Amino acid sequence: MLLLKNADVYAPAATGRADILAAGGRILRIEPGIRLPQAYVEEVDAAGLIAVPGFIDGHVHITGGGGEGGYATRTPELLLSDAIRGGVTTVVGCLGTDGITRTPAGLLAKARALDEEGLSTFMYTGHYAVPVQTLTGSIERDLLLIDKIIGVGEVALSDHRSTQPTFEEFARLAAEARRGGILSGKAGIINVHMGDGRRGLSVLRRIIEDTEIPATQFLPTHIGRNPALFEEGIAYAKAGGLVDFTTSTVPAFLDEGEVKCSAGLRRMLDAGVDAANITFTSDGQGSLPDFDGQGRLRRLDVGRVTSLFAAVRETVRTEGVPLATALRVITANPARILKLRGKGVLAAGADADIVLLDAESLEIDGVIAKGRWLMKGRQPLVRGAFE
């Protein structure tokens, strides 16, 4: 058993100073003044630390992605230590542009590997393309038969790399995902890669208007990638749509008009968007091409899952968004939207996924996943198999 004493608890709502008792991978109790015989419990003084739910990163290319500059630009797999350093205890893996050399079977194997190494993992079936290339022959079968598959993605829209799906094709895809989700008790959500194309969110808006499929069936990502998509995203979210910001970026993207996650969240809240409709994901292990002023490729960088909490921290420290509100976009919101039970909250009965933050600097001090210490006193305690 693990007893964290005197932590300042954000569940993610601020609930004040309390002790957290965990055993068997679950949180048993959260209340002040818990006392147990020393022989049965590892007691840790968490005074000066803020306890928050382990972070959920809902869009990570865990098997690597990229490849858009040829084979040499295929990006590497996610390392366990990157997730630990970023406080990420739950990961949703996905494929991107490449659905030939990257496969759902490989993604499932990597998700299982990270699970064995201590994280909680899920995955999307498919990649950019429509029709969706599944693991078992159909989206519904994947959702019903493969525990880790919670939806479809990332399917590309309004992008030169998409398969240019028609409205009918995309509506049918959404319908299959919806039925599979209903029958399996999962989200069945479609993670939609939004490109820079002028059509923006129009296909999603039309499906929501013209069919019976609700807005909650879609989680469009990269919503801050350009000013036009961001503005459309505000209207879309105010009308009940869900929107996801990508935290991995490079200076060149921001120079070209990408809306920074911290400023984007602040502006959406100021515009009256319900905070419950917004999530952040890292796009970790995706490729980030860095171009010089003449548009020449300078170097390729790789998205990092450590950018996830860095963006939330920046939202608190530079945009003045309350910690409890900012935390929601990587904890309670993705847990609810993706139907990840026991995740994203600190509460009795929830999984013992806990991140400890320094109360002054908001730096990550400790990480506990499924009740096990992965980082303690800023020192990583666990490494991946080949690290």
Q: Which residues are catalytic?
A: 283
CB 339 within 8 A of CB 151: no
Beta pairing class for 364-369 and 354-358: antiparallel
Report CA 114 to chain centroid distance, whole Å.
Answer: 15
Cβ atoms of 37 and 52 closer than 8 Å: no
Give min distance, CB of 154 to Zn ion, in A. Answer: 5
Closest CA to 35 of 61, 71, 9, 1: 1
- Rounded to whole angstroms, how far apart are CA atoms 314 and 327? 11
Residue 241 or 303 with smaller CB distance to Zn ion: 303
CB 21 within 8 A of CB 36: yes
Q: Which of 218, 213, 272, 215 is nearest to 244 (CA)?
A: 218
64 three-state secondary structure: coil
Question: Least distance from C-beta 58 to Zn ion, angstroms?
Answer: 12
Closest CA to 2 of 39, 48, 51, 44: 44
Q: Name every residue whose Cβ is closer than 8 Å to that of residue 324 and which is 6 or more positions away in sequence.
A: 10, 12, 13, 14
Write the DSSP assignment of 243-255 as a string of letters: EEEE----HHHHH
Distance of alpha carbon 91 from alpha carbon 124, whole angstroms: 11
In single-letter form, the type of residue at position 90 comes to T
CA dist., res. 87 & res. 56, Å (int): 9
Least distance in angstroms from the C-beta of 225 to Zn ion? 9
CA distance 119 to 81: 11
| Total Cβ atoms within 10 A of residue 182 | 12
> Residues in the site for Zn ion, rule: CB under 5 A?
154, 193
**Helix residue ranges per DSSP H, 211-364:** 227-238, 251-255, 261-270, 307-319, 323-328, 332-337
Calpha distance 121→114 (Å, rounded): 7
